[in-house]
Every structure is written in structure tokens, then in C-alpha cells.
Structure 1
Amino acid sequence: MTFDVATAARALLERNWREGEYRGRRYAFSVPSPRSYPWQWYWDSGFHAIVRRRFDPAGARAELETLLNAADPDGFIGHTVLWGHPLDLQRAVRYNIASRADLMTRTIQPPLLAWAWAWAVGDPRGADPRIDAHHAWLREHRALTDDGLLWLIQPDESGMDASPKFDHVWGRLAQGRPSFPLLIARNRRLGFDARRIRAAGRPVVCEVLTNVVWSLSERALGRPSPTPALIERLWDGRAGRFADDVVNAVRPTPPAARPRTWDTLAPLALPDLPDAIAQRLVDEVLRAPGFADGVPLPAVALDDPTHTSRETWWGRHRHWRGPSWVNSAWLVSLGLRRLGLDAEADALAARLAAVVAREGFREYYESRLGYGMGARDFGWSTLLWELLDPVDPPRAS
């Protein structure tokens, strides 16, 4: 039987749809996965809206407006919005909340909202003042340096959670490690405030993927592109890779000695990335066996010592330590098509489609054999539709 990705993707997002009213605020969105992720996740909703626009433009807008409905008056929007019911005690230990009464967690995710709005709704400039307020909060509270790039206080703010690239930053407190709740507790005591955390001598990270998404969203709002600053701070021309800038790392490690993780390829999604850098990423990283031989796109190069797809004794430490993710493949495919490498993007999409047709829309996939892993009925894996039926990204004016 032929796999009809459009029909399957639409059915999944519809099954995962939730709407109602909570604490006097309206919500309408797709949960990432009904059992594992029963609330609204910030950047997941951006990906959901990008796909949903294909069959339900009003619903795509409602999903993004639901994030805005959760916003604090100062523009802050948290990583997770707890629509419908608060956290249970077990999750409260692992989630970045100040109190179980909070509507949102107090950390961020890659700020996809404005760029997703450009895809799903239209020009975000002047569309809703809450979008501008959100970006103003990010600039005020997370742009810790004069170049305007954002800095993170925890691994999960990057969306890459337990990636091995954070091991040298937080050590035993890195996400996925047994002591990660101690990092949450420490940051809670410091009010989840990036400047206070840095002043206390704790790590903060200018992270690649987050600033790629930040650049896309700033451009969508007609603001000056952060891409030149991203290149200046994070591009290592000698190694031919992008790498995070870190302050107060537990185990300072030079970029060339860090794990080879997929996010070095994330800048391919930037429409203003110089072609020379983009082509070098494709030639030297994407086409190298560590990435080219895996299910698109391994979170860690297959031949990197930190790569693993196996469960470990401390639980789900494997996610972002090897398995393949659909959103990563989609972002990279945008760069391939911008470079005119459509045949290569088509081949990437076809390889991934064969895996999803067999395994369903899973949270991630084992990067050699392609078996499904993590949550089932996972929303952003419907981005496969975008991979197979591409359209041009929205253009910044």
C-alpha cells in the first residue's frame, strides 16, 4: 500500500488537536504527542502551524495565537504552556517551573514564532503587537552581548536537550544525566535569569540552532539579520563547522574537539548564509559518511565517539545523542534547495519517507536501521510533507 503522507499528516494533527478555555484564556493547538507530551510546546507548535497551513489556515493561525495568548505582559513565552491542567508532582521535579501554579515553564525554546507566522499566516510585521513584545523580551533578557545573539541557561532551551555537545558545559548536571534536576533547582533559585546565572559563575551558551531560528524570526519581522553576528561568533573557518560559544563551562573544550552534532548544519536554513560557507557545510559535513550514511538526519555523526542510539541506565539519555529527527532534515533541505541541490534534497526526503511509511510518525528514528523511537503520533514529524512537497520559504522584505 502506498503511503499517503498528506492524508496521514493531516489525520495526525487533527487527532492531536485540543481546544478550550483555561484560566480565562482560549487555546487551540495540536499536542506534540497525546501520551508523552500532553501540553503545548513552543517550537513544536511553530512546526505544526507550518504543516497545518496546507489544509487549515485558520487553525494554523489559532495555534500560533495560542502561544501569544499564554504570553506574560512583558512578552515572555515559555518552553511549555500547561493548558488544561497543572503539572503532576513527578513532572514538577523535571520541568522548569517556579511554582506548580505556573501556566508556563520559565525557560525558552528556539524562538520560531515569527518565522512560523510568516510561513503559516503571512507577514508578521505589525500583525500582532504581542509578537514584537516577545522579541523585545528576548533581546532584553537573552541578548547578553552587543552583537544581539541569544544566550541559553539550560540544554533544553536549545530544543536539543540531551545532546552530547552540552556535556562539557554542564558536566554531571547536563540534561539526561541523573543530576539534571539539580541544574533546574539551581536556576530556579536564580529566577531563571540569564544575567544572574552568568554573574554567579554558572554556564551560559550562545548556541547555534537557537540563533539560526532567532535570525530567521528577526528577518521575518524586518529587523537587521543576526546572521553576520552568528558567523562572526560561531563559525570556525579552520574546522569548517559552526560551534557554540560558552561562558563558565565546567570542562572547557575547544570547538574542534567537541562532538560532531547536526546543528552545525542548521545555518543552511539561513537565506543570507554566504554560499561559500553553505557549500562547504554540504561538501565537508553533510556528505561525509557520518551524516550521509545515516537516516536523515542523525543528531550526532555516526562515526563520532559520542553517538549512541541505545537506551542507557539513566533513561532517555539517547535522544539527541544519535537518533534522526524530521525537523532537522527539513531545515537542512531548505539550504540544499537554496543552493540548487534539488536532487539531493529529493533523495534525502525519499529516504526519510521510506522510514516513516514503515514506522509511522515517531519522535525520532534509529539512525542506522531507521526503527521508530520515542513518542508515537509525533506532530512535528509531519514536516515530512514539507520535505516531499516543498514550497519556497517566506521572504523577508
Structure 2
Amino acid sequence: MTTFDVGVAARALLDGNWREGEYRGRRYAFSVPSPRSYPWQWYWDSCFHAIVRRRFDPAGARAELRTLVTAADPDGFIGHTILWGRPLDAQRAIRYNIASREDLMTRTIQPPLLAWAWAWAAGSAPIEEPRILAHHAWLREHRALEDDGLLWLIQSDESGLDASPKFDHVWGRLGQGRPLFPVLIARNRRLGFDARRIAAAGHPVVCEVLTNVAWSLSEQALGRPSPTPALVARLWDERRGRFADDVRNAADPTPPAARPLTWDTLAPLALPDLPDAIAQRLVAEVLRSPGFAGGIPLPAVSLDDPTYTAQETWWGRHRHWRGPSWVNSAWLVSLGLRRLGLDPEADALAARLHAVVAREGFREYYEARLGYGMGAHAFGWSTLLWELLDPAPPPTLG
């Protein structure tokens, strides 16, 4: 039986997905998330790719992150997807958040991990890159809608969690993966994808957990005051022992207690300054609960939650945030386990995931009970398994 060497396989995948060239007068170099399904550059995927690539190709890791800032608008905006090489076809244009088919980028964001990834992989402090400073200035100006400085989203796909059931009460039939999702895109396009205009018009906006974990990590990487205390103050529910989004103008005013239990309540474990009492409670009451401990690391939805599904649904492939497991979420949670000194638990999590990837390959996600591969093949950020198995200390922030 051939031994599965994660490092060799990860390098081969990221190199096989590598793209270089020039488009509209700008040079690019990055790994696509998956050659068939995701042929362009995705913002937070590239952050994860660079973190892994730094292990064998530091120059390439820096090039991938520089490609993101090369795409930035003069005001600092960097989109969810950068369309290097060719514009969208007509079919995808309906489902992508563009103002025009001539756009280089979609007009929505993804979790802002760039400054944090830069601290991991670029070989220099992110504060030395003025385009990252401009990017954070854009985020503060356009998405920090209240005085606490936390970011607000206009669509579920901005969170990276896409069709998670935690957004069902927010957008209802207009949500990601539902038949009327193009209606939401069209409405937000008319409002310029502007969070303040959207909220003022009475449409939903969300102060979302995972997005603000990414924001806190990146702000700290720039040496700025940590948003973590604000995140805890706004989103931590002490009575229930979990984090929950704050929502304005929800389609259905479902109270937090009735919302699905999804993995992102564990995402704050990645924060180096999360209070230990909260971190320990998350591990004891959520991560070790049967709904998460009993699945392939890490189920997107607790296995015992009524919204969990691993089957095809009437909205097709968008089931992928309604149950199956993702490697990036497992890695982020493992950072918290190691910070708490729970290395054996992190090692066990990595070993369970390694057995699945060795059998199924680097897939987009995995069925959370049986572990069979699902979604795209040759999926880049699943190479974070290397980080899980051979952990390196996170970068010093600040």
C-alpha cells in the first residue's frame, strides 16, 4: 500500500493549479482553487494557498498575495473573485456579484484574511504594504457600520459560508443557492453593493462571526487595536455559550436561540486574544459535543441539528455549507486547540482528517459522517491538512 505523503501531494496540487500571465496590463501569479470549478482567483482561498505554499516556495507565496493587492482598486477595494485572464460568460454573470461583465473583480468581499496571511507568508510586515492599508481603510469606511468597528455583510457569500442554514432567516428565498438568489444580486447591484444604502433601504445586513474573526486577525497583524473585545461584546451569548450573528432587517426575525448550530461559533478559537474562559467553554460544550466530535473534522452544521443534510437538495450543489466538512475550518479551530495546550486533541483531529484525505484526495469538502469526497476535485485550500499535521506557530501579531 502506498503511503500518502501530504507534503508531496499538496505541492503537486498547488503547482498544478498555478497560473501566471498578464491581463489588462497587470501581472498575476496564483493557484486557482480548482481547475474546472473555480478557474479564477478567490480572495480567501489565495490567503490559504499562500500559507501552505510558503513551506516549499516562499517566493510563490508572496507572488500569490501580491496578485491580490495588484487587483485592488485605487480606493483599496479587493473583490471576492478576481477574473484574471477572461471575463465572465453570460451564464455565470447572472450568479456573480458584478456591476458589469467588464469588471475585473466581483463587487462583494470575502473574509478579510489578507493582512494575516501576509504575516504568515510574505516575509515582511503587512503594515509595510500600503495597498493593504488602503484595503483596510476601505473596509472600515464601507463595512464598519457602527462605532465598534466590526464589519457588516450584504450577502451570505461574503462570509465564505455561502448557503449555510444560519442565513435562512436572514434572506429567506433570496439566499445563496435558492432560486431567487439572482434577485438579491440584482437588488444589491442597483444599490451599488453599498452596505449603508442597502441597510437604509430596509434590506438585511449581517455582523457575522467568521468575517469578524478574519478582520480581528488581520487588524492585529497590522499592529492595530484588536477588534476581539468588540466581537465578544456584540456576538458572544454567555447564556447559550456560543457566538451568533447580529442581523438587521432579517426576512424572518428568528431569535438566536432558534438558529442552527453551525461551525462558525468555533471560529473565534483562532483568535490569539480570545478570553480563555470562552475558549475552554467552546471546546467543552461545542467542539466535544456529539454533533461535532462525532463527524469528520469539521462539520459545517452540527450533525444533530435539524438543518443538517449531507444529501442532494432541491437547490443542488449549494448543500455544501449545510452539513459536509471543510479542511480550512478544522485548521482554524486547531489553532485554538494548540493555543490552549490541547495538542493531543488537535493531533487526533488532524489524524482523522488525514485518513479521509488519503483515501479521497484533496476535495472541496467531505461528507461529515462517512467521509467520502464531495464538490470540486484538486481543491487548493484542502492542502491546509499539511498545516494540521505539521503545525507551525502562528505569526506574532502586532
TM-score between both structures, scaled by the size of structure 1:
0.99
- Cα distance in 2 for partners of 1:257, 1:360 equals 36
1:175-211 deviation digits (Å, cap 9, x = unpaired):
1111111000000000000000000000000000000
In structure 1, the residue matched to 2:171 is: 170
- Cα distance in 2 for partners of 1:266, 1:388 equals 19
Amino acid paired to 2:339: R
Shift of 1:122: 3.4
Contact 1:161–1:175 (CA<8 Å) still a contact in 2? Answer: yes
Shift of 1:313: 2.0
- 1:137 equivalent to 2:138? Answer yes
Contact 2:118–2:126 (CA<8 Å) still a contact in 1? Answer: no
SS of equivalent residue, structure 2 residue 9? helix
Gaps (5+ residues) in structure 1? none
Count of residues in correspondence between the two structures:
397
1:118-165 deviation digits (Å, cap 9, x = unpaired):
000234343210000000000000000000000000000000000000
Shift of 1:317: 2.5
In structure 2, the residue matched to 1:303 is: 304
Counterpart mapping for 1:134-283 below 5 A: 134-283=135-284
Shift of 1:396: 1.3
SS of equivalent residue, structure 2 residue 253? coil
- Cα distance in 2 for partners of 1:260, 1:5 equals 31
Distance 1:87 1:32, change over 3 A: same
Contact 2:116–2:217 (CA<8 Å) still a contact in 1? Answer: yes
SS of equivalent residue, structure 2 residue 321? coil
- Cα distance in 2 for partners of 1:287, 1:258 equals 20
Amino acid paired to 1:384: L
In structure 2, the residue matched to 1:348 is: 349
In structure 1, the residue matched to 2:91 is: 90
In structure 1, the residue matched to 2:34 is: 33
Identity %: 85
Counterpart mapping for 1:13-52 below 5 A: 13-52=14-53
- Cα distance in 1 for partners of 2:312, 2:80 equals 25
- Cα distance in 2 for partners of 1:282, 1:265 equals 8
1:223-273 deviation digits (Å, cap 9, x = unpaired):
100000000000000000000000000001111110000000000000000
313-322 vs 84-93, which deviates more? 313-322
Amino acid paired to 1:7: V
- Cα distance in 1 for partners of 2:126, 2:172 equals 41
In structure 1, the residue matched to 2:396 is: 395
- Cα distance in 1 for partners of 2:280, 2:127 equals 35
SS of equivalent residue, structure 1 residue 382? helix
Distance 1:126 1:208, change over 3 A: closer
RMSD of aligned Cα (Å): 0.6
SS of equivalent residue, structure 1 residue 304? coil
- Cα distance in 2 for partners of 1:387, 1:87 equals 35
In structure 2, the residue matched to 1:10 is: 11
Amino acid paired to 1:70: A
- Cα distance in 1 for partners of 2:123, 2:339 equals 21
In structure 2, the residue matched to 1:334 is: 335
Amino acid paired to 2:63: A
Shift of 1:314: 2.2
113-122 vs 43-52, which deviates more? 113-122
Amino acid paired to 2:135: H
Amino acid paired to 1:44: D
Amino acid paired to 2:182: P
SS of equivalent residue, structure 1 residue 85? coil
Amino acid paired to 1:381: S
Amino acid paired to 2:358: A
- Cα distance in 1 for partners of 2:361, 2:128 equals 36
- Cα distance in 2 for partners of 1:236, 1:201 equals 26
SS of equivalent residue, structure 2 residue 297? coil
- Cα distance in 2 for partners of 1:92, 1:224 equals 39
- Cα distance in 1 for partners of 2:370, 2:57 equals 34
Counterpart mapping for 1:54-69 below 5 A: 54-69=55-70
- Cα distance in 2 for partners of 1:360, 1:162 equals 24
SS of equivalent residue, structure 1 residue 263? helix
- Cα distance in 2 for partners of 1:375, 1:153 equals 26
Gaps (5+ residues) in structure 2? none
Contact 1:123–1:220 (CA<8 Å) still a contact in 2? Answer: no
Amino acid paired to 2:191: L
Shift of 1:315: 1.4
Amino acid paired to 2:215: W
In structure 2, the residue matched to 1:325 is: 326
Amino acid paired to 1:353: H
Amino acid paired to 2:287: L
Contact 1:125–1:222 (CA<8 Å) still a contact in 2? Answer: no
Contact 2:216–2:228 (CA<8 Å) still a contact in 1? Answer: yes
SS of equivalent residue, structure 2 residue 320? coil
TM-score between both structures, scaled by the size of structure 2:
0.99
